[in-house]
Amino acid sequence: MLEKMLPFLEDRHLVIHCHGMEGGCGTEAFLVLLHVLTRYVRTHHPIHLHCFTGNRYVQDRWLERFPGIYFGFTNKVRTFSPDQIAALQNVEESRLLLETDAPYFPAPGSRVSSPSQISTVAEAVAALRGTTVEHVLEISVANGKHLYQCQ
């Protein structure tokens, strides 16, 4: 289905949600998807890799092909492996997005997620990146405005 839709992409941004088997970081799924997109999507197309859970190897392969890609992170970062944390820490500030993916990936103590919980995502991401919540929120908002042309 994806291969039938991609030729109609035009200049719109592309939002991709990819994951592998439960409990893994989805390396195989991310690499298969990258192979498919390479045939249809131009190198500098605006791409938002939503709910990114990949490791550095996966991240590097995507950056080689799509250097302007944005990586979105949710509260799932709280359960990341050291390899996934390394990928989160490696994302350039200008390519970082925060997401809640409501109702999935709730904040600690909640049953479901909601957009109002974005600050808990920012707290987790800031702690793992060694920066402030305010800074992570600020750059994510700026990046989202740039990607989605809301300026």
What is the domain partition of the chain in residue ranges? 2-147
Looking up tokens 């190198």 gives: 43
Residues 116, 10: Cα–Cα separation, whole Å = 32
Using DSSP's 3-state secondary structure scheme, residue 49 falls into strand
In DSSP terms, 50 is beta-bridged to 17
Q: For 17-33, what is each residue's pLDDT tens digit? A: 877 666 555 788 888 88
Give mean pLDDT, residues 70-75.
96
**Residue 6 clears pLDDT 80, i.e. is over it:** no
The pair of structure tokens assigned to 30 is: 């991310």
Rg (CA), the chain: 15
Q: Which residues contact 136 (CB under 8 A, 6 or more apart)?
A: 96, 98, 122, 125, 126, 129
Cβ density class 10-42: b for 16+ within 10 Å, e for less: eeeebebebbbeeeebbbebbbebbeebeeebe
Q: For 75-97, what is each residue's pLDDT tens digit? A: 999 999 999 999 999 999 999 99
Q: Report pLDDT for 88.
A: 98
Q: Report pLDDT for 113.
A: 86
Q: Report pLDDT for 55.
A: 93
pLDDT mean across residues, the chain = 89
Nearest CA to 51 out of 9, 18, 21 is that of 18
Provide the strand spans (E) within 19-143: 47-50, 70-73, 96-98
More confident position, 87 or 9: 87
- Cα dihedral 117, 69, 88, 1, rounded to 10, equals 70
Q: Report pLDDT for 9.
A: 67
More confident position, 18 or 2: 18
Q: Report pLDDT for 16.
A: 86
Class of domain 2-147: alpha beta
Question: What's the gap between Cα 127 and its chain centre?
Answer: 17
Q: Report pLDDT for 64.
A: 96
